[in-house]
Structure 1
Amino acid sequence: MLALLGLVTILVLLVTVMTNKLSPLVALIVVPLAAALIGGFGLESAKFMVTGITKISSVAAMFVFAIVFFGILSDAGMMDPIINRILKTVGMKPARITLGTAILALVVHLDGSGAVTFLVTIPAMLPLYDRLKMRRVVLAAIAAMAAGTANMLPWGGPTLRAATSLNVPVTDVFNPMIGVWVVGLLSVVALAYFLGMREEKRLAAEGALTDVDHTEVHVRELSDEEKELRRPKMFWLNILLTIAVIAAMISGTLPAAISFMLGTVVALMINYPQVDAQKKRVDAHAKAALMMASILFAAGAFTGIMRESGMLKAMAETAANFVPADFASHMPALVGALSMPFSLLFDPDSYYFGVMPVIADVYKTFGGDPIAIGQASILGQMTTGFPVSPLTASTFLLIGLTGVPLGEHQKFTIPLVFAISIIMTVAAVVFGIFPI
């Protein structure tokens, strides 16, 4: 009975979210609560929700302060010298331009926001692509590959959701995957260079490069509001602060939430010492932080009900009866290989809070570590897959900024991001993270 109730709960969650009948925030609270009441748990359901919320509170705190922290540093112009250096280095050479696009997107995505990455990268690089008659679909593909792979960061949405769903520290999911992630980043750079060389050969064959001054440098213009917020004298101090915060978090010297809390306070004090300016910077990024924090707390309520009621355990035990024992050890590698296509089927909340916990519990019944399923999932599900998924707003922002039709973007980019997920899955097996 519990297994059937859990299955129906997850199916209703998937349908209501993916058909836009309910927002993820509402669905994550209402659907499991209704299931718990139907299951006869009554007021005990509230205790289940509190238990789930308590377990994810540190993750939500980390995400809130991570958004504000990187937002403040971006406002202060920490990225400007890096962006300008990239533009100066690439000049008017196609292979350098594609490499510069990848590196720029990887750096900008440090804040974990796909929208910000595209809003900075595309306007900065698009004039170069148009000037040389390079295909815009190449620009969209490289930005997608870079942002998608970088989205595995511990403060990125997928990794946060995976850790929240599994009730483990986010560093437990991410830290063992650092080597795999580096392989993914190198793959992005290699593919960007390959696409650039291919564009260079095409343009040379068409004679489009004969009248181009390859030493010309594209200059990025800032608005008056952006100039007012910039703190160029604080560049190196902000860089050191960023390194210190990330190092403290990854090394485990400080809990992730505390690292970003302290980092946010220091960033505000050194860049915007006036109280009014500090309030404005926090307000500027509060909407994005509150939105994601609300989702995470709602997800805590969902996972609390599903776990404490026994629905997840019952589903896993039932599903385990249909999984051959010899196949169980291959589950992380299979999930990793399918993780990117999952982005086309499931939005992140439905997958990480509905589908993934069941797979993880099934794997656990065979003696596997559920964290491996979370690690396999972040190799593609709304990481490499988010910029091609019709289920994310960032995809439409990307194609809107580049002017590339969705179908053309997906046809060109999906094989590339899928290849990166497969490469990282193979790396996880080679590094001994996934059993074979």
Structure 2
Amino acid sequence: MLSLIGFAMIAIMMYVLLKGKASPLILFIGLPAIGGLLAGFSPSQIGEFAMAGIEKTSGNAVLFIFSITYFGVMNDVGMFDVLIDKLVKKAGNSVVAITVVTAIIGILGHLDGSAASTVLITVPAMLPIYKKLNIRPNVLLLIVASAMGVMNLLPWGGPTVRTAVVLGMDANILWKTLIPIQIIGVITTIGLAIILGLRESKRGAGISSDSKDVAMSQVAATVDEKVAALKRPNLAWFNILLTTIVIGILVVDAIPATLVFMLALCAALVVNFKTVKEQEGRIKAHAASALLVSATMLASGVFVGVLNDSGMLTAMSEAVLGLIPASAGPLIHLIMGVFALPLGMILGTDAYFYGLLPLVIKVAETYGITAINVALTMIIGKNVALLISPLVPPTFLALGLADIDIKEHIKFCFGWLYAISLIMLVCGVIFGIIAI
């Protein structure tokens, strides 16, 4: 009975999320409450399960509030604008240089963990140059997709935080385990940019001599006056230094990540905005996205808590065990790692991490495979699938800006991104991060 209710909850969640019929927040709260009652648990018991789950997610939810706001402010003040302008000017009319610069901008632009802002930073800035140099816009979106997928492993990235919630651990600790794999991903992304640049050169790209000046003027003309008023080019050195210090502290784990972003946000607001009205204006500007993500994170604690503490997950794993061949059991984490990209692309973020991941972890434990080992294999491919998933709104934002059809986009990008996810997975095994 418990297993049937558990499977029904996950199936309903996946279906409704795929159809876009309800907010994840509603599903994460409503489904476990109904499922718990159907399973025969009292409201007080369900409340205990839910609070146990919320307790595990609260730390990461607070981290999200301050990290999203901090990087939102950094985006407002144009932290990397000067650096990006110099990179574009340095690249000139070299096709390979332009594609490599695209990768670097995508990597830097996704420091905030926001897919939408990365798309808005990268695509409008680079698309005019691509058009003038006769480089296919598909190449631009592929490089951005790879950069975002790799950088989304950061501790304030959605998939990493969701995985940490399921594991009941600090997102920063999980990220430190992933750092070597992320470095490989960054190197692979730049390598991909070089390969694509060479391929485009062979196709005849790079024929325009005035592309750089025209493209830069087009980009400058599209800058909104209100957006421009928030820029602080004279403080770029401070903002870059502050962000570098933040990342450095996170790497050495000297101070809790949440406190790091609290202090950094205070410093960023005080230095970049002199009046209380301006400071509060920046907080309000990013409050909606920070609150929605964090509220969803807390709500997911209800779902995970009821699923775990009610015994549903155990019953479900026992049912699945009977379907898995004995020879495949010890390799289930690697099998899931191989298929992580297509699964993540089809299921979407919440269904993948809160529905599929806990079940695989529970099944894998029977074969002596640790939860973190399963999580490491499954997070890599899902991250790389970020900008080719039809369930991710920024995918359509990018497609709209580049005027590309989604089928064409997936067909062009899928093979390359799948290869990158497999390279990162193999390197994780070689480095001993992922145990066989």
Q: TM-score, normalised by structure 1?
A: 0.95
Tell me the SS of whatever aligns to 1:177: helix
Per-residue deviation, 1:400:
0.5
Aligned to 1:9: 9
Give the match for residue 21 of structure 1.
Answer: 21
Task: Please state how far the C-alpha of 1:4 moved relative to its aligned partner.
Answer: 2.1
Do residues 212 (structure 1) and 209 (structure 2) align?
yes
The aligned residue for residue 387 of structure 1 is 387
User: Which secondary structure state, in structure 2, belongs to the residue aligned with residue 380 of structure 1?
Assistant: helix
TM-superposition CA deviations, 1:119-168 (whole Å, max 9, x none): 11111001111112211111121111111221111111111111111211
**Offset at residue 51 of structure 1 (A):** 1.3
| Deviates most, 9-18 or 121-130 | 9-18
Correspondence 1:37-52 to 2 at 5 A: 37-43=37-43, 44-52=45-53
| Counterpart Cα distance in 2 of 1:301 and 1:215 | 52
Q: Distance in 1 between matches of 2:406 and 2:211?
A: 32
What corresponds to 2:270 in structure 1? 269
CA contact (8 A) 1:329 1:435 kept: no
1:367 aligns with 2:384: no
Instruction: Work out the CA distance in 1 between the residues paired with 2:259 and 2:239.
Output: 18
What corresponds to 2:318 in structure 1? 317
Q: Aligned partners of 2:23 and 2:210: how far apart in 1? A: 51
Q: Comparing 112-121 with 335-344, which one deviates more in the overlay?
A: 335-344
Question: Residue type matched to 1:434 in 2?
Answer: I
Give the letter aligned to residue 209 of structure 2: V
SS at match of 1:329: helix
* AA partner of residue 424 (structure 2): M
Structure 2 letter corresponding to 1:21: K
Provide the rounded CA distance (Å) in 1 between the counterparts of 2:172 and 2:333. Answer: 18
Q: What are the within-5 Å matches in structure 2 for residues 260-339 of structure 1?
A: 260-324=261-325, 326-339=327-340
188 and 140 in structure 1: CA distance in 2 versus 1, 3 angstrom threshold: same
Report sequence identity in percent.
37
Point out where structure 2 has 5 or more consecutive residues left out of the alignment. Answer: none
Q: Indicate if the aligned counterparts of 1:87 and 1:218 stay in contact, CA closer than 8 A.
A: no
1:115 aligns to what? 116
**2:256 paired residue number:** 255
Contact kept? 2:150, 2:186, Cα under 8 Å:
yes
Is contact 1:91–1:217 with CA below 8 Å preserved after alignment? no
Q: Superposed, which structure 2 residues align to 1:13-412 within 5 Å? A: 13-43=13-43, 44-203=45-204, 209=207, 212-213=209-210, 218-219=215-216, 220-221=219-220, 222-324=223-325, 326-381=327-382, 383-412=383-412
Deviations 1:329-384 (A, max 9, x none): 32232222111111222011111111100101111222221012221122121x11
Question: How far off is 1:100 after superposition?
Answer: 0.9
3-state SS of paired residue (2:143): helix
Q: Distance in 2 between matches of 1:97 and 1:217?
A: 15
Distance 2:175 2:374 in 1: 12
